[in-house]
């Protein structure tokens, strides 16, 4: 299914509407509290998984479900996962010029994280001091 979506860097995830959820036959997998732009909180369903394909990229996400036929919003997490750039002047998504064919994924150095999170006593015991 092809849909038009508003790229919203202020939204975290993919937001679809009930009509799209039903057309895709998606099941509710969870729910969450969502804060609208006006500050109002409401419970929304989470449905998925959904595969998003843009340009030469793809990612799989769960989507928050908005009521009725609300506009689809593409948030920053799927954009980051696909390594896409927002060109606000041309109002389009672009591939990074140096990474047109493969997305760059950021991962933390687990060994460095473990080392930094160890207590001084653990470091001494590990080093046999």
Write down the CATH number for the domain with range 5-103. 2.40.70.10
pTM: 0.76
The ranges assigned to domains in the chain are: 5-103
What 3-state class would DSSP assign to 38? Answer: coil
**Structure token pair of residue 14:** 């993919």
Rounded to 5 degrees, φ, ψ at 42 are -150, 150
Average pLDDT, the chain: 86
Residue 86: is it exposed, middle or buried by C-beta count within 10 angstroms (0-12/13-18/19+)?
middle
Q: What is the pLDDT of residues 27-46, one digit of tens each?
A: 999 999 998 878 899 999 99
């Amino acid at each position: 299914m092809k849909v038009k979506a508003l790229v919203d860097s202020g939204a975290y995830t993919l937001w679809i509407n009930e009509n799209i959820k039903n057309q895709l036959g998606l099941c509710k997998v969870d729910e969450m509290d969502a804060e609208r732009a006006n500050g109002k909180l409401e419970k929304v369903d989470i449905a998925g998984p959904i595969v998003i394909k843009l340009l030469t990229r793809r990612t799989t996400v769960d989507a928050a479900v908005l009521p009725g036929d609300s506009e689809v919003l593409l948030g920053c997490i799927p954009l980051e996962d696909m390594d896409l750039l927002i060109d606000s002047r041309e109002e389009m998504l672009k591939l990074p010029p140096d990474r047109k064919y493969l997305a760059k994924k950021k991962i933390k150095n687990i060994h460095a994280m473990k080392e930094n999170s160890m207590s001084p006593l653990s470091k001494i015991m590990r080093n046999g001091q």
